[in-house]
Structures are given as C-alpha cells and as structure tokens.
C-alpha cells in the first residue's frame, strides 16, 4: 500500500470492533485482567502494544503506536508526552558514566541543553560533530549512540545519513535521528539506516497546534532499552493526545504536499528580495545541502530560515512586528504560518547583538502563498521605514503553486 492509503486505513482495529471508522478513545489509569495468568504475563513483558497499567498506554495509544510503526516502515513505536521527552528518553537510555555519545551540531536547542545539563554532569561524554566531519574517525570503543538531526534546526545543514549509519554500524553503534522536519512522508530514516527515529508529533504529524506528543520508532530490538527507560521514568502520553494525533495523521500526506509547495514558492520569492541576504532551505537548488536533500528526502517541509541584510535592532523589530499573517511563536508544523527570530546555539555566546546575523525562522502554513508573500513584502518595506508595498509578490496562487517541487 502507498503511504497515503495506509494513513487512512491503518489503526482501525479497535474502530472495527466498535462498528466505527474512528477508534474509540479509551482512558484509564488501571488496567484489569481476566485471569491471574494474563496478569502475570503482562507484568513480565516489555510492553509495546499490550495493556499493563495506564502509563504504558490504552488501546488508543497502541493504535497510534502501531500506525506510526507501519508508516515509518519498522516494527514498533513508543508515544511520549512531548517531542523533547522522546529525544531525552533515547539519549538517557544510551547514557551512563564513561559512555560517549556523538551528537550532530545544530540540533534543536533543548536537545543540546539536555546534553549539557543532564548527560555531561553525570559523566556521559557528549561530542558534537559537523555535517562534513569524518564520523568514522570520531567513533570510539565507548560510543553508545550517534544522534543526528537532519536538517539541523534553524541553520538547516543536511547530514549524510547512509554514510553516518554505515560507519556507526561497522562499530556496532546505533544511530538515532530526530526526523521531525521530514516526517515519514518525506524522509524514511529507517531505510536510510537509522535504528531509532524520533518525531515531535506536536508538529506536522498532529498538524493542528493543539497538543504536544513525541513518537519514537524502530525495531523491537533497537527500542527495547528506550521502552525500559520510559517505563522506569514514567514517560507517558495521554490517550486523549494519542487520539487527536491519530486524527491528524489521516491528513498528513495532503498537508505535507501543500506545506512543501507553498514553502518553496515563498522561499524562492524571498531569495529575489534585496533585503534578504540568504535563504537556508535545502529544497532550493542554490542551497549547499540541496544534493544531499535530493538523495535522502522525497520532499521538503514548511520551516526554513532567512538571513536579512544587516539592519538596526529597530528595523529588525519593525520587520517582525509588521507581519500580520505570520504569528510570532516558536513552534512549527501546524496549519498556521509562524515567524521567530532565530539565534542558533553556537552564536548565542557572541558579545553584541550587532555581531549576530539577523536570522529569522519561518514556518509556512496552509494559507495562500500569495497572501503570505504580500505580508512579507509589506514587512520588508517596513525595514526601510516604508509603510506599505506589495512589489514583487507572485501574481496569484495558481502561479505560485505551479512551481516544480522536484527540481
């Protein structure tokens, strides 16, 4: 089955039993058993999709976990309370005194903060590596995990997953990947060699900006330690959240297609604006990561970053405040367009704001790209102190959507 069909027909086991197309929402803290034998079996097993106690999930959780495993082309999935909880569970399950974890530079800021405030003080060695690093030279006998986020948050560099996975596997080391940007629709982390894939379902998978959820996928073997960690630490997703995410999942493929077309159209338009110095988006053929993106992704998601030409703090503030269709907020992946000033982790220590590049991260939502470009044109004009212009915005949605996203 193609993924589009799978998204519609997966996770309907409990729905069929209830004579419904939508799975029932089952909430409980307490799981009860028909017999002592069934009880003993559940307590002893490592539970991925069977009842034990509310923390390991209900039939609603298991429906979502089975759906996600199927869509991600693997055996199992674990739902967690947020995307960050999924990341920290995977890292914590591989940490320990003397263990060495390689982490791609440019990971989501809180991933790095967790490494620095939790892992390093408890004697796990964390080493960051650049996208052009020779990973085989960095692997050690004590390396327990390679953690990659591709593309990097904010700066959007691409990491070469097959090369990293081949080198790690040669040394018996697992590779985990934060694949939130690509989603399983555009990025098949497991086929590229990733052992564990992490998705902040908060973003595109749910798609409606009304919940937080993480999903971890992989083989039963690759996820065993992470499942144990989640059980030990109480990392848990609420059934209500899983139910809403299942609802969002049904439309993931159509939404991703629209995010991609609009984001590419807006990114191309921004590239032609004199006030924009650079657009960081691997789907653009001018982007340094374009070749890798083409070889590993089948599409591009809604978030990308731009660097504005140097301007004063006042002008920068005018730009941000002038946007009306882009809400100012730090998330992405929902139906609505968002903007936020972006300060990548490695630039945070710079002494003065004047040294900091004027980076802005956008998420292109499901609005008309024509309207979004009009809004951006007006905000770019505000940098110069001008109040209103729509010069250069694409002529209508049809023209914008005609962009060939495969090129």
Ligand X SMILES: Cc1ncc(COP(=O)(O)O)c(C=O)c1O
DSSP state of 116: I
Residue from 201, 226, 222, 223 nearest 82 by CA: 201
Active site residue 291: no
Active site residue 53: no
Looking at residues 42 to 81 of the shown chain, list those that interact with ligand X (rule: CB under 6 A). Answer: none
> Which CB, 112 or 370, lies closer to ligand X?
112
d(CA 337, CA 364): 5
Active site residue 203: yes
Q: Which of 203, 255, 261, 361 is catalytic?
A: 203
Tell me if 197 contacts ligand X by CB under 6 A.
no
> Which CB, 178 or 195, lies closer to ligand X?
178
Tell me if 84 contacts ligand X by CB under 6 A.
yes
Binding mask 308-337 for ligand X (x = CB under 6 A): -----------------------x------
> Which CB, 153 or 260, lies closer to ligand X?
153
Q: Which of 23, 83, 289, 365 binds ligand X (CB under 6 A)?
A: 83
Which residues contact residue 1 at a Cβ distance below 8 angstroms, ignoring those fewer than 6 apart? 9
Which residues contact residue 367 at a Cβ distance below 8 angstroms, ignoring those fewer than 6 apart? 262, 325, 336, 337
Q: Which of 112, 160, 178, 258 is catalytic?
A: 178
3-class SS at 100?
strand
> Which CB, 180 or 273, lies closer to ligand X?
180
Residue from 307, 304, 274, 306 nearest 386 by CA: 274
Tell me if 207 contacts ligand X by CB under 6 A.
no
Least spacing, CB of residue 332 vs ligand X, in Å: 7
Classify residue 395 as exposed, middle or buried by CB count within 10 Å of its CB (0-12, 13-18, 19+). exposed
Looking at residues 160 to 179 of the shown chain, list those that interact with ligand X (rule: CB under 6 A). Answer: 178
Sheet of strand 303-308: strand arrangement:
276-280, 303-308, 358-363, 338-341, 327-328
3-class SS at 251?
coil
Active site residue 112: no
Q: Which of 12, 55, 247, 250 is catalytic?
A: 55
Classify residue 327 as exposed, middle or buried by CB count within 10 Å of its CB (0-12, 13-18, 19+). middle
Least spacing, CB of residue 163 vs ligand X, in Å: 21
Tell me if 212 contacts ligand X by CB under 6 A.
yes
Least spacing, CB of residue 364 vs ligand X, in Å: 15
Tell me if 88 contacts ligand X by CB under 6 A.
no
Least spacing, CB of residue 188 vs ligand X, in Å: 17
Tell me if 204 contacts ligand X by CB under 6 A.
no
Sheet of strand 143-149: strand arrangement:
76-80, 214-218, 196-200, 174-178, 143-149, 100-104, 125-129
Residue from 368, 362, 371, 304 nearest 329 by CA: 362
Residues labelled catalytic = 55, 108, 178, 203
**Contacting positions for ligand X (CB under 6 A):** 82-84, 87, 108, 149, 153, 178, 180, 200, 202, 212, 214, 331
């Amino acid at each position: 089955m193609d993924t589009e069909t799978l998204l519609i027909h997966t996770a309907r086991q409990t729905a069929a039993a209830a004579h419904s197309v939508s799975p029932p929402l089952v909430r409980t803290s307490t799981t009860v058993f028909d017999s002592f034998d069934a009880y003993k079996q559940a307590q002893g097993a490592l539970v991925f999709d069977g009842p034990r106690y509310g923390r390991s999930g209900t039939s609603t959780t298991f429906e979502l976990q089975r759906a996600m495993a199927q869509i991600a082309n693997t055996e199992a999935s674990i739902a967690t309370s947020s995307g960050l909880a999924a990341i920290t569970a995977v890292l914590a399950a591989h940490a320990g005194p003397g263990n060495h974890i390689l982490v791609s530079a440019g990971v989501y800021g809180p991933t790095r903060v967790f490494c620095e405030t939790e892992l390093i003080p408890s004697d796990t060695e964390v080493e960051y590596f650049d996208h052009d690093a020779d990973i085989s030279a960095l692997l050690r006998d004590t390396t327990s995990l390679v953690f990659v986020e591709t593309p990097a948050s904010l700066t959007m560099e691409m990491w070469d997953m097959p090369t990293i996975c081949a080198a790690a596997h040669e040394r018996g080391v697992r590779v985990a990947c934060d694949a939130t940007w690509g989603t399983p629709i555009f990025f098949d982390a497991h086929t590229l060699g990733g052992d564990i894939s992490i998705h902040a379902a908060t973003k595109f998978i749910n798609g409606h900006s009304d919940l937080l959820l993480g999903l971890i996928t992989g083989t039963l073997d690759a996820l065993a330690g992470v499942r144990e960690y989640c059980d030990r630490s109480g990392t848990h997703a609420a059934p209500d959240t899983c139910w809403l995410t299942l609802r969002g999942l049904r439309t993931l493929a159509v939404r991703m297609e629209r995010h991609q077309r609009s984001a590419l159209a807006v990114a191309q338009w921004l590239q032609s604006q004199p006030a924009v110095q650079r657009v960081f988006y691997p789907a653009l053929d001018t982007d340094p990561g374009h070749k890798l993106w083409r070889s590993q992704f089948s599409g591009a998601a809604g978030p990308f970053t731009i660097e504005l030409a140097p301007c004063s703090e006042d002008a920068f503030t005018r730009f941000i405040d002038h946007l009306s269709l882009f809400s100012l907020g730090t998330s992405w992946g929902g139906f609505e367009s968002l903007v936020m000033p972006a300060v990548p982790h490695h630039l945070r220590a710079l002494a003065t704001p004047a040294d900091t590049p004027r980076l802005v991260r956008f998420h292109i939502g499901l609005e008309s790209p024509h309207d979004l470009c009009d809004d951006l044109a007006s905000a770019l004009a505000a940098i110069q102190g001008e109040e209103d212009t729509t010069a250069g915005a694409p002529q209508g949605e049809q023209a914008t959507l005609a962009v060939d996203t495969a090129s």
